[in-house]
Amino acid sequence: MKRVTGLRSALVVVGAASLLVSTVVTAGASTTSGVYNAKDAAMVPAALKGTTLQVATDASYPPDEYFSGTTIVGFDLDLMKALATTLGLKYKENNVAFATIIAGIQGGRYQVGNSSFTPTLKRQKQVNFVDYYQAGEGVYVKRTSMFAFKGLQSFCGHIVAVEAGTIEQSDAQAIKCTGGKKVTVRIFQTQTQANTAVESGQADAGFLDSQVAGYVVATAKGIFKLSGQPVNVAPYGIATSKTATGLALAKALQAAMKTLVANGTYNAILKHWGAQSGEIPASKMILNGATS
């Protein structure tokens, strides 16, 4: 979403079809929450020890982050819990509009952005990223639709529903059509609203992250179907501020991610949510176009 540019040329799209597959999962947090690691915890900046991290999430993007009743759940939420446990940190999840998260981090309201961010070059200039997943952009339509997605040019002459502030929004708006056609991009504040637009016929297709498209289809009781194959596979990153404290926190989160990969917690969380298709072998820092 939350999603890709800038990094595309360095990413392999082979096998991307698997990223559209999603299984139906039972709502609720994973029982796997990580184990405290003193070495990783020692990397947490002193200014944050003993405080409660404010974490920003847009909870309208299942299976990554969404509401089950009054509780925010999803694999991003379980991962944040495991990271906090590993680092010995307290934290609070804040449900906010996706487009406001980076500004909130820059303004000091939140220490962490945990909401399926793609580390675009523009975003890398604003915040630090620690990668933890990869996803492509996928498309779904109504079950009865004749629309067939065969690449971004397929949207020419059609109405596309996207969530505000996402890479899908900017990608759809950037499409250059021929023959007098154009793409009509309808922008909604939440993914839930975009889904409703497709269901009601206000839009021909929904354009969003591939595993989320799969989840929307799998849980829609036959209303939707997937169309075509994913495009533009890229990482997801957890965001922190560009301050010295934010950079130190990012390094601690990266260390904790490596620990969760090594001890199997990371894989267990993704398996719980049917999201193993985007699993990565190791976490990297993504800063100003470089990884480490």
Mean residue pLDDT of the chain comes to: 89
The whole-number pLDDT of residue 1 equals: 55
Domain ranges of the chain: 8-135+234-291, 137-232
> Which residues have a Cβ under 8 Å from the Cβ of 144 and sit 6 or more positions away?
none
Sign, CA torsion 192/193/196/197: negative
Q: Say yes or no: do domains 8-135+234-291 and 137-232 share a fold.
A: yes
- 112 pLDDT band, cuts 50/70/90, is very high
Taking domain 137-232, whether its CATH number is 3.40.50.410 is answered by no
Q: State both tokens at 184.
A: 């009509």
The whole-number pLDDT of residue 24 equals: 35
Q: Which of 15-19, 175-179, 241-245 has the lowest mean pLDDT?
A: 15-19
- How confident is the model over 109-136, as a mean pLDDT? 95
- How confident is the model over 116-139, as a mean pLDDT? 94
- 108 pLDDT band, cuts 50/70/90, is very high
pLDDT above 80 (res 7): no
User: Left (φ > 0), alpha (ψ -120 to 50) or beta: where does 168 sit?
Assistant: alpha
The whole-number pLDDT of residue 119 equals: 94
pLDDT above 80 (res 120): yes
pLDDT above 60 (res 18): no
Query: Measured in Å, how far apart are the chain's first and last C-alpha atoms?
Result: 23
- 79 pLDDT band, cuts 50/70/90, is very high
pLDDT above 50 (res 82): yes
- How confident is the model over 160-177, as a mean pLDDT? 96
- Pair 184, 210: CB distance under 8 Å: no
Closest CA to 175 of 202, 153, 159: 153
pLDDT tens digits for 209-241?
988 898 899 889 999 999 999 898 889 999 999
pLDDT tens digits for 239-287?
999 999 999 999 999 999 999 999 999 999 998 887 887 899 999 999 9
Whole-number Å distance between alpha carbons of 225 and 104: 36
- Pair 6, 258: CB distance under 8 Å: no
pTM: 0.76
Q: Which of 49-53, 93-97, 170-174, 216-220 has the lowest mean pLDDT?
A: 216-220
Closest CA to 32 of 65, 67, 74, 81: 81
Which architecture, in CATH terms, is 8-135+234-291?
A: 3-Layer(aba) Sandwich (3.40)
What percentage of the chain carries pLDDT values higher than 90? 77
The whole-number pLDDT of residue 289 equals: 77
